[in-house]
A and B are shown apart, each in its own frame.
Chain A
Amino acid sequence: MSSDLTKGASPVPPSRGRIAERLLPDGTEPDPRFTLANERTFLAWIRTSLALLAGGIAIEAFTADLFLEPVRKGLAVLLLLLGMMLSAGSAARWLRVERSMRSKAPLPLPLIVPLLAAAGALAAAVVLVVILWR
């Protein structure tokens, strides 16, 4: 008799976890290729973030003879802050894109792109001014 009750019952889908249920509560699972592509894009941004972090550490060291200490430290802190913001921003972007895909809404604009471009231009401008002023 118990077998008759369970016959035809659909299997319980695996739990997504508490954090996933909380941060991605609505909608349906998107095409798995899109989820994996979103994760790959996130990892690409993380690689850029790591490059900025490493650059921030290195620039303070190898430009000791090129720039004054305040300029050196300022540039290093700028790069490190940018790396941090990119790391956090890429996670926020990943979450927004995942939510958009789940609810079949248009993808959000990537705000970290203009942020990175503006900060990079600012850093380059600072270096140019310092080099020309010397």
Chain B
Amino acid sequence: MALVTVSAIFLRWLPHHGLPILALFTVAVTAAATIYLTQRRRYSTSSCGILQEKVNAEIVAVLWTAFAGVVLGILGIAVVLAS
């Protein structure tokens, strides 16, 4: 939800920053869509894990989410310096 909100904010400033801001919008929406589409599987895995008292840490999801944040930052700096 936060990623969708942020992507809307990026789109809001399209007139000021121009088309390069669409790169940030694309990354944020892609990340949001990936999280949404995989959330049922993750919830199911977590629920079963709680019942069995053993949950594997979702390290790949954590790393990808953090990576998306870093990529958004790099793109954001590029957009700000270019505008």
Contact = CB atoms under 8 A, between A and B. Distances in A.
Given A17-B60, A32-B49, A39-B62, A84 B69 contact: yes
Given A17-B60, A46-B65, A57 B53 contact: no
Contact of B54 (A19, A32, A91): A32
A64 to B, nearest CB: 8
A80 B69 contact: no
Nearest to B60: A19
Contacts of B83: 60
Contact of A88 (B2, B55, B58, B66): B66
Contact of A36 (B3, B16, B55): B55
* Chain A interface main SS type: helix
Contacts of A60: 16-17, 80, 83
Interface residues of B, number: 39
A80 B49 CA distance: 37
A54 B62 CA distance: 20
B56 to A, nearest CB: 5
B75 to A, nearest CB: 9
A81 B55 contact: no
B13 A49 contact: no
A54 B24 CA distance: 10
B37 interface: no
Interface of A: 14, 16-17, 19-20, 23-24, 29, 31-33, 35-36, 38-39, 42-43, 46-47, 49-51, 53-54, 56-58, 60-61, 64, 73, 76-77, 80-81, 83-84, 86-88, 90-91, 94-95, 98
CB-based closest 10 A-B pairs? A87-B69, A84-B73, A91-B66, A32-B55, A61-B16, A54-B9, A80-B76, A76-B80, A54-B6, A47-B2
